[in-house]
Chain A
Amino acid sequence: MKLGKGIKGVHGLYLARTAGENTTNQQALPYTGNRLLNTLFKHGNYPTWTIGNGVYVDDATEIEGTFAPIRHWVHFSPIFNDGYGSFVGNFFLDRFDPYELIGYGPDDGDARVIKMYGSGYLWDNTYYDNEDADRAGSFTGYSDDHALCKVVSNSTVPLIDGTTTMSNTGLWSRHEWTQRVYIPTTAGSVTVGARVKISADDKLRPLNFVGISTTQVDSNDELYVNYTAIGESNPTYTLPTGTLTTTGSNNQGKYNWNGLSSHPDDEPSSPPNGTHTKYHMPETVHVVEHAFLDQDNFEEFQLIEFTFVPVRSVGETFNHANFNIFFAENASNMNADLEADGELTGGFQVFDPYVKFNF
């Protein structure tokens, strides 16, 4: 029996999750139904160092180390550090105060807190240049090809081109854990949230930001993003919101919130257990920032939550959304000088994320 202060869960919301649950259209994995699964990060799987982007598993195999998945969650990072694998940075912590680090080992069935951290460095790999700020710059659309995955996932820079470098303070690479959910067509809005923490002894480096987001795509392959972020006090930057497009003098539409596809028609290229989600590199993005919060207010677990009206133009019986827990790391924070100083990237702790539908 464990003693100590537990984190209060949000199980009362599960009732809403099951309303309108889809049971007939589950062939297109990695959809997980209209609720999040494994929100308590049980099952012992413990990814370390590198993992394949978008790979989905739902079986009970317990794996630790490289290429170890988290069951029902798919990972995205544009920082390739192992040829085909990309950087994954997380610990798992006990859910009880003082939230001690949990080791590799057999699943004991206990809930865990996930703590995401940054890369701190633009790792080398065999095939894909992490220092090329306009990597895949001319590509928009869907692809399985890592070479067509942009290394810049968020940007305040109006135009990224061949002269842009990965020391620019207006660029971020974002890694995240994702689940796709069905949205009942009768749901007027969707609420997502999680309990999150940024401990006093592991604050985010300036310019790094973290949070939760949702992504959807419409029939024109335009991306719709809702997010709540947490970062430094009084940030020196403002993330672009509204409709971001791509023109000759401004390509923010291509360099904000790209990542794993949220398109409902993605065809799995592998058997269901091991299915992977394609990349989506959009050209136009519609962005809603619900809040940008001060990390100093999250030294203990706090609830963050937002509600959005889902996009209706894609999907037949059901609409879809990706739910994401993200760590956006500023490009200027991934360099050798900071590495030499031993400065940590900061850590983002998340417990029991949820999705509920409002009818």
Chain B
Amino acid sequence: MATTTAPHARAYPSGRTWVYEWLTTTDHKKIGVLYMTTAFSFFLLGGLMALGIRTELAVPGLQFIQPELYNQLFSMHAITMIFLFVMPMFVGLGNYIVPIQVGAADMAFPRINALSYWMIPMGGLLIMGAFLFGGSPIGWTMYAPLSVVEPARGVDMLLMGLVLLGTSSILGAINFMATIFKMRAPGMTLMRMPMFVWVTLVTSVLLLFSLPVLTSGLIMLFIDRNYGGGFFDPALGGNPVLWQHVFWFFGHPEVYILILPAFGIVSEIVPVFSRKPLFGYKAFVLATASIGALGFTVWAHHMFTTGAVFLPFFSFFTFLIAVPTGIKFFNWLATMWGGQLRFDTPLLYAVGFISLFLIGGLDGAFLAVVPFDFMVQDTYWVVSHIHYVLVAGSVFAIFAALYYWFPKITGGKLNERLGKVQFWLLFIGTNLAFFPQHLLGLDGMIRRIADYAPNAGWTELNFLSTIGAFMIAASILPFMWNVFITLRGPRDAGDDPWDANTLEWATTSPPPAYNFDALPPVRSERPLFDLKHGTVAAHPASVPAAAGQTHGELREDAPEERLGQPVEGHEDSSGETRGPGAEVSAQAPDATPAAGSDAADLPEAARQDAQKPRKPGEPE
């Protein structure tokens, strides 16, 4: 296996420029980086919009932004953050990490992967371009008939951009599912996959089933707007509430799409930094699957005040979702209990997530109470809930993931002190920005308004919320500085800087083009851990495990405890891929397999294969 020296050889053959390489790459790692940097740029744009909103709302009166622009801003802020930041960021992380975590050399369909990525900047351009045509002042929820009658052309650009982005996500979901089902390392059964892979799988199912419904809705809206269609116009026989049904049938699974990857990230980080396995792995898988399934049954809880839905059904299932979510919480806590917690920045963010997503989740429980929803629907209570689950939830998890996997992606570990500065700024800012909004909503302050009455008693809390928003913005600065200096510094993090458990830490940082020279055997959900510490049941290891050991060194003191220890030179005649009898070569996926590699020679053969020059035009 590769040693800890980070490879710095050019990752592509000579004759290709850097620009051409990145424009045409089909390598999941580069595509993942492209996704993440694009997503982060849109995060900054969406953040600027948020600052505009909060600046205007800080005190009553219209100071800087008139309603016409304000309505465009809050609509576009949500669209940007949801479709151009959180979703592409999670897809980017998944793109980079999932193939490596399952032990594959790339995604199942690398070229479709590239297509999926490039649809993001294209769609983003269309959507941002809407600002040049009157924006899209209809809310990210685009309720008809307002969205039908709104004359601004920007709305049509938004619809087209969203169809493009939706297609990108659907293709991405297909790619992830095919990769996860078909390309796992030998020995990696479904119940041995890392939790991040599990949530990616469930999220992909949600994407596959919900996004096309959004697309159909967007098309219906486009037809009503531009071709005299009558889907949502009662005068023509249509029904505005239908839009809400179609939209929220997508919209609710969408919010689970935005949070399940976060759950997966937290479930990766907490075990590593507690030095304990994830408590209740099976329960976790079941909980994830149930949240995914139940997510399709609750959509009309966004429509309680329409008077047009069967309230008990949706209230019941909304309450029910609290149960698997609670199971996850308790599992994380139980993972930490009795562990050896190391509060590096990734764990800080993971614990910050747990502590604050709780608030967002409890808000949701309130909203499941239908008569209470009658009071706070469309008020700042909902805004508070949304931002707790999305900022304190998804954004915290994104930063946790960035700090955690940055060394794997770049070879350099982000600076801890700057990380902690960012964390506390973001943590305090998030609470300051969004906690007061509970009180505002309970007091009757509605949402989506550019201005509010000066004698309503809402001024102080709005001002506090604006301060919080600026703190959140400020916290991005140490992060960007951190990335800058880390990328300029030495890339000496090594293969496994966190002493982690899963396969991505069993290769170099960054990994070679084909991800692995060779894979450890997979006998549990922690293959690298098993390799480092020998198999451990629910009792302490008999030998101390030093942190930072590379996977190359085995525990010689307890060999009899190691599961799956193959007998040297053993060949499994059935062709089953287990132990070193595996015949799979380390070449690119679509090359013909090396003929007749002898099992006993395998490590040598693999090394030689890996060093063979690539044929021109072969993907790396």
Partners in one complex: no
B: which residues have CB within 8 A of A? none
